[in-house]
Structure 1
Amino acid sequence: MACLYGIAFMKQTYIGCGVILTVTAVWYVFYTTFLEDNTLNSVGWIVFVGSILLGLLVGLLFSKMPKPGSFFLGAIGGFCLGTLLFNCVFYLTNSYWTLYSMSLGLALINGLVTLYQSEALLIHSASLLGSYLLMMGIGMLAGEYDNPFIILDLIRFEEKKHVDPGFYGYFAGNIVLYIIGTFSQYRKLKQLKASRRLAFRKNGLN
């Protein structure tokens, strides 16, 4: 939905943004600090459900405060772009520094720019996020979708030298969906503006 209709359903998009941001943050902390080989599956499910509920609260706050919501939506879009670029070619640097500087740098830049070029960047960020999540979900089920962190570990342990060729098919699908989503949202934005102008004229006549 975010890919095709994000600009038309901004409150729902902000809520989704809050869920994604919170779940990612909670699971990152969980995996890097508390997760052990003997951790019960039930603990993982509790953390997962709890992170979603917390994410819904964060998303509701974003929907009530569009400025922070716009910043974080733009930031997530920039982060997705950074990881895609890293997976395509910059993984060859074999450097976590490159991954973090690209993904977090683009996240910060895109988030800040979105605050001042709201409509255009929101459309592009929502389209990129939606296409990224869809292709990543398909890739995780079908296989050959490389996680950038796993890529670096495999390269460092000399178990892999390049990303799986199938990833570039997912990347192409990502670009196609992004273009379709952006076109769809600009068209929807044009319709929304026309509806607002018509409503304004009717109110003026009344």
Structure 2
Amino acid sequence: MHVPASYGSYIYGWPSKYDQVFWPLTVDQGIWFCEQSGFIAFIRDFDGLTDGERGAIKAYLEKHYQGPLDTRQKLALLEAVYVLREKPDDFRNKLVRVLARWYQDLGDHEKANQLRGQALAQMREALAGDLPEPTRLEYVYVSCNYDVLLGNTTAKDCMPKVKKAIEASTDKDPDGYAAYLGTLLDDTARITRGGTLDPLPRDKGG
């Protein structure tokens, strides 16, 4: 399995920032795949499975896996295998957003935005409860992007809510997460309904 080399903060400026998912999960090296067994997972997420998870995944793969797989088939298998794993809600939401970015990059905007709609519903439900502040900020920001993209609201309507959440944050570090989201917010005004979640011309990154 290939392990990506070290990286810098520049990855947080790549277009996947609008989904708040990042390299290496957005590239081939971020998905580890065993061609022999069919087991697939995000990088460094092969360990720590319970006996129940192992049994369920083994049974699923014996019934459904037939390699080799192309990229779309790997993504479908990744999603199916993670259904069988015991993961917290925030992980599952990130998984859906990672898949959305993958399908967008593959040119399947309908599938990408369908997944974003699914992630948006999850985030709305989570925001109704208690969340760690960084997760709440992340969900408020990404929800605004998705609402604008999917035509549920306008940037003019949802951006003030994001600004209010950022201003209310206890994270006052100028290099912290709240400040980082603040630097992205102007791009939300450039998101157009439907299509791709790349409000600025893409010139690099994932």
TM-score by length of 1: 0.28
Q: Higher relative CO (CA 8 A, sep ≥ 6), structure 1 or 2?
A: 1
Higher helix content, 1 or 2? 1
Larger Rg: 1
TM-score by length of 2: 0.28
